[in-house]
Amino acid sequence: DSREMAAENPAVELAKSHLVQPWPYAGSIGAEARTLVTSGDGVYLIDGDGKKLIDGPAGMWCINVGHRREELARVMYEQAMELSYNTPWYTMNAPSAELSRRIAEYAPGDLNHVFYTTGGSSAVETALRFMQFYNNVRGRPEKKQILSRGGAYHGSTYLSASLNGRPRDRDWMDAADDLVVKLSSPDPFRRPKGMSAEAFCDFLVDEFRDTVKAVGAQNIGCFVGEPIQASGGVIIAPAGYLKRIRDICRENDILYVSDEVVTGFGRLGHVFASEELFDIEPDMITFAKGVTSGYFPLGGVVISERLLKDLNRSNHPDAMFGHGLTYTSHPVGCAVALKNLDLLEGGILDHARAVAPYFQQRLKTLEDLPLVGEVRGAGLMACVECVADRESKDPLQLDKDVGKRIDQHCHELGLLVRPLINMCVMSPPLVITKDQIDHLVAILREGISRTM
Ligand code: PLP
């Protein structure tokens, strides 16, 4: 097994002695080493044994323009030589100002102001703390409950993690449950048997409206939702659902936070998907990952001008939004993001839109495998969901390591998979070609076949 051979690498031994990796099990925390990768190029990674792998998940849905982009490496070097850091408390830098202008141009409506963070969790955390501040300053401190959904993933800081909907992210963890109200996952694959997609949409919208009524709009600060639930398994809500939720939020003065940490910056072929694909104008959009294609840890929140005006006009002009990170508006991160946007605009967004139907159509052919319950996706994100029995769709009767076993077979064959229990998520770099898609799908087919 190539992974056992990799265990001879000194980095693997050091990791087992000193490194704590994300989502570890208590029984092996601090003592495990995952697949060592040593370099990347385009859609490929090289592992510790020199084996070439297609980077199926594009890192963590983030290496949008592909690995080893010299333009991005150079701009990081040049910016660091020019101005490596400045305190955002007392000073500002030009790259963050220019990036904000460009992001505001892409963001819908009056979302014209950007606060930068170090990633997605801190972006969601910032949006939530801003909502709390906004309602405190406006004299309605009780209006702070947060609506979130099953299947959601919004981060690993305390408040953002409190919104997460997947049991495995919550089971052993504490959460701010008194601040959060949970709704159903908008997952059509698991809708009640015999219910049409339209009826399922009505059910979700009714549940939302009933929840607002039961909790009271005067107690609800915001709704937070991914346009497509990514880590939940690429869950695409029924058509029209998001817009109807948006309307209810607007009627009830509930802020709508669209979490575009995954869907933003090209994954669905656009810089932001909220308006382009779902026809919604949120009050805030959170982003991260693809904004720098993962070359630098950067995220942010785009905030509606209207909200800032409300604060400007409030009775508490001296109230301070006591929130900031050392690396807010980092000049190197913002400079990389600017160059990354140039690359996306310079053909990669067009390529992503052009190649996406082929990617989806080729992956869909895997539905003929008995283990595969459904293949679904949009743009360059997709999920292959395995089931023990297609009738019951029960994932629980499956070996809980089925995804891991598929990943192992695929690794042997030259593809990195991101197993999510019974699901394999595929979100390759946006520069992937049709030939590379064919190769990816062929390996995945063989990997799943060997697992059955
Ligand atoms: N929001 C969404 C939709 C995500 O998928 C993620 C991470 O996968 C986050 C937020 C958290 O981002 P980060 O890991 O950069 O903190």
Domain range summary for the chain, segments of one domain joined by +: 2-68+347-451, 87-329
Q: Which atom of ligand 1 is nearest to the CA of 226?
A: 3
- Round to whole Å and give the CA distance between 425 and 57: 7
| Of 252, 321, 266, nearest in space to 113 by CA | 321
* Cα of 67 vs its chain's centroid, Å: 19
H/E element, 170: helix 167-170
Q: Which atom of ligand 1 is nearest to the CA of 288?
A: 15
- Ligand 1 mean position to 369 CA, how many Å? 31
Q: Which atom of ligand 1 is nearest to the CA of 61?
A: 8
* Cα of 184 vs its chain's centroid, Å: 19
| Of 382, 413, 383, nearest in space to 395 by CA | 383
Q: What is the pLDDT of residue 397?
A: 67
- pTM for this entry: 0.96
Q: Which atom of ligand 1 is nearest to the CA of 229?
A: 3
Q: What is the pLDDT of residue 6?
A: 46
Segments in 216-348 forming alpha helices (H)? 241-251, 273-278, 305-312, 331-343
Query: Would you state the structure tokens that stand for residue 186, as one six-digit string?
Result: 């908008």
- Round to whole Å and give the CA distance between 115 and 197: 37
H/E element, 115: strand 111-117
Give yes or no on whether 2-68+347-451 and 87-329 have one common fold: no
- Ligand 1 mean position to 285 CA, how many Å? 13
Question: What are the CB-based long-range contacts (under 8 Å, 24+) for 29-34?
Answer: 33/6, 33/7
Q: Which atom of ligand 1 is nearest to the CA of 259?
A: 3
- Ligand 1 mean position to 391 CA, how many Å? 33
- Ligand 1 mean position to 315 CA, how many Å? 35
- Ligand 1 mean position to 155 CA, how many Å? 5
Ligand 1 pocket mutation, candidates 63, 289, 295, 325, criterion most atoms within 8 A of CB: 289
Locus of tokens 């508006």: 329
- Round to whole Å and give the CA distance between 8 and 31: 15
Ligand 1 pocket mutation, candidates 128, 262, 272, 381, criterion most atoms within 8 A of CB: 262
- Ligand 1 mean position to 121 CA, how many Å? 6
Q: Which atom of ligand 1 is nearest to the CA of 160?
A: 10
Q: Which atom of ligand 1 is nearest to the CA of 118?
A: 15
Residue nearest to atom 1 of ligand 1 (CA): 154
Q: What is the architecture, at CATH level 2, of domain 87-329?
A: 3-Layer(aba) Sandwich (3.40)
Q: How would DSSP label each residue in 3-59?
A: HHHHTTSHHHHHHHHH---SS--GGGTTS-----EEEEEBTEEEETTS-EEEETTHH
Find out whether 182 and 148 touch, Cβ atoms under 8 Å: yes
Q: Which atom of ligand 1 is nearest to the CA of 289?
A: 15
- Round to whole Å and give the CA distance between 358 and 144: 44
- Ligand 1 mean position to 153 CA, how many Å? 7
- Ligand 1 mean position to 122 CA, how many Å? 9
pLDDT in tens, the chain (452 residues): 455 554 478 999 999 999 999 999 999 999 989 999 999 999 999 999 999 999 999 999 999 999 999 999 999 999 999 999 999 999 999 999 999 999 999 999 999 999 999 999 999 999 999 999 999 999 999 999 999 999 999 999 999 999 999 988 899 999 999 999 999 999 999 999 899 999 999 999 999 999 999 999 999 999 999 999 999 999 999 999 999 999 999 999 999 999 999 999 999 999 999 988 999 999 999 999 999 999 999 999 999 999 999 999 999 999 999 999 999 999 999 999 999 999 999 999 999 999 999 999 999 999 999 999 999 999 999 999 998 888 777 766 677 788 889 999 999 999 999 888 889 999 999 999 999 999 999 999 999 999 97
Residues with a CB atom less than 6 Å from ligand 1: 60, 119-121, 124, 153-155, 226, 230-231, 259, 261-262, 288, 299
Residue nearest to atom 14 of ligand 1 (CA): 120
Q: What is the architecture, at CATH level 2, of domain 2-68+347-451?
A: Alpha-Beta Complex (3.90)
